[in-house]
Amino acid sequence: MKTSALSTLGRRTALPPISWLMQTALTRPKLISLAAGFTDNATLPVEISRRLLNDVLRSPKTGRPALQYGITAGETHLRELTARHLQKLDAADNRAYLPERVMITGGSQQLLYMTLEALCDENDIILVEDPTYFVFLSILQSRGLRARGIRLDRDGIDLVHLETVLERLKKSGELPRLKALYLVTYFQNPTGVTTALAKKAGALKILKKFERAAGHPIYLLEDAAYRELRFAGDDTMSALTVRGAADRAIYTGTYSKPYAPGARVGFGILPEPVFTAVQRIKGNHDFGTANLLQQPLARALASGEYDRHVAKVQRNYSRKARVMKQALAEHFPKSVEIWESGGGLYFWARLPKGISTGMKSKVFSAALKNDVLYVPGGICYADDPSRRKPDHEMRISFGSASVENIRKGIKRLGKVLKKFVK
């Protein structure tokens, strides 16, 4: 008899690498975690949410629909407001922003997962930034999908490398397995990099060139989770604004980062036939995201409370990023290269090559011993057999730690690094 009745996926799904880090942070109260990707507790919209929920539940007329099942693709008003919101961000006016193309999901995480379910069979290939969002890599691992990393520059992926990888896949006969290029385009997790619009357009053009050999469309999956956490520079337009991209760009966004992760409301704009496939899959998952959570959010967007709140959140992260920048300049060895960001929650630190930051490294254990935690860069790299995984980098977050703890944490980490780096 077999010892377990688990499916292939059930058996294969590995413990996410971040679980241990999160557990450690919770069980050691003195530890300063610069690892967590959490948003700042201090700016979560408690008052606004109470008021809006009260409004929703004020009368049976408004309360009942919120407590009833809803539409699988999302609450109609929230879909309209989301379409308008995105259209405003992109300052665009094309058919990409129709509310019918908007899907509301249980966080954008659910949308990323379902998009892969809709597009990929086991062994299919997804191109990712090198490095990328490690939970996305966990989905690939769980679903038996393969990843190929595309080198990342300070303004997005290296398009020459993208083309080289595609040529290689074509030569090896694997191109028909390639379904999408996944890019975290704003203040990327983990590096803080924002992808230039020209790079999105360039990538779409290159992907299109290889579609004939692939035998099907190759999508650009644009994850804009951190877009609204911008505190410096101008916004960059999304791939939806690129001419001819309406049927190849899949855009995912979220109300988690700018508003409340606990509301678990994400959204996306999807072209056909992906939209219909994802909608059906979502029907099987949950019949639709909780109305009780969608309705207050719709009210926040409609009343302008959402925009006012986002402005406050941006100011808060701007200050915390500034504090982190100053602390890094003061305490980190000069040979550590820092990639600062004009938004999001993260800075990326690159130690000289050869100095490992991995969970089993001396640097990591020394940091832990000194009660400070970071995300080792290595876990953000896909299992790509065509290159060795770099492991000399770290993601440090200014999101959830207080200003005081950012200063203290960077000081502790700097002291540790000075033992290993000149």
Ligand X SMILES: Cc1ncc(COP(=O)(O)O)c(C=O)c1O
- Determine if 113 is a binding residue for ligand X (CB under 6 A): no
CB atoms < 10 A from the CB of 27, how many?
8
- Determine if 393 is a binding residue for ligand X (CB under 6 A): no
Q: According to CB under 6 A, which one of 261, 333, 342, 390 is a site residue for ligand X?
A: 261
Of the pair 108, 289, the CB lying nearest ligand X is at 108
Placement of tokens 């967007």 in the chain: 301
**Cβ contacts of 169-174, under 8 Å, gap ≥ 24:** 169/125, 169/210, 170/210, 170/213, 174/125
With CA atoms as reference, report the closest residue to 126 among 156, 146, 152, 150: 146
**Quick one: which segment of 105-113, 142-150, 324-332, 397-405 binds ligand X (CB under 6 A)?**
105-113
CB of 108 to ligand X, least distance (A): 3
Asked if 115 and 126 touch (Cβ cutoff 8 Å), the reply is: no
Of the pair 194, 254, the CB lying nearest ligand X is at 254
- Determine if 254 is a binding residue for ligand X (CB under 6 A): yes
CB of 189 to ligand X, least distance (A): 4
CB of 262 to ligand X, least distance (A): 9
- Determine if 225 is a binding residue for ligand X (CB under 6 A): yes
Q: According to CB under 6 A, which one of 108, 194, 291, 405 is a site residue for ligand X?
A: 108
Of the pair 266, 343, the CB lying nearest ligand X is at 266
SS3 17: helix
Q: According to CB under 6 A, which one of 107, 131, 202, 376 is a site residue for ligand X?
A: 107
Q: How many residues bind ligand X (CB under 6 A)?
A: 13
CB of 315 to ligand X, least distance (A): 21
- Determine if 80 is a binding residue for ligand X (CB under 6 A): no
- Determine if 223 is a binding residue for ligand X (CB under 6 A): yes
Q: According to CB under 6 A, which one of 25, 89, 184, 220 is a site residue for ligand X?
A: 184
Q: According to CB under 6 A, which one of 109, 289, 295, 357 is a site residue for ligand X?
A: 109
CB atoms < 10 A from the CB of 21, how many?
19
- Determine if 251 is a binding residue for ligand X (CB under 6 A): no
* CA-based max dimension of the chain: 67
SS3 3: coil
**Cβ contacts of 53-59, under 8 Å, gap ≥ 24:** 53/292, 53/296, 55/296, 55/299, 56/292, 56/295, 56/296, 56/299
Placement of tokens 């100011």 in the chain: 315
Asked if 190 and 129 touch (Cβ cutoff 8 Å), the reply is: no
- Determine if 189 is a binding residue for ligand X (CB under 6 A): yes
Of the pair 266, 414, the CB lying nearest ligand X is at 266
In the bound state, the residue with its beta carbon closest to ligand X is 107
Q: Where are the beta strands (DSSP E) in 302-409?
A: 337-339, 346-350, 372-373, 375-376, 393-397
CB of 313 to ligand X, least distance (A): 14
Of the pair 97, 346, the CB lying nearest ligand X is at 346
As given in the structure block, the two tokens for residue 33 are 């975690």
Distance CA 278, CA 253 (A): 15
Q: Which strand (E) or helix (H) includes residue 129?
A: strand 125-130
Of the pair 52, 265, the CB lying nearest ligand X is at 265
CB of 109 to ligand X, least distance (A): 3
CB of 335 to ligand X, least distance (A): 28
With CA atoms as reference, report the closest residue to 269 among 120, 115, 157, 118: 115
Q: Which residues would be at the binding site for ligand X (CB under 6 A)?
A: 37, 107-109, 133, 184, 189, 223, 225, 254, 256, 261, 266
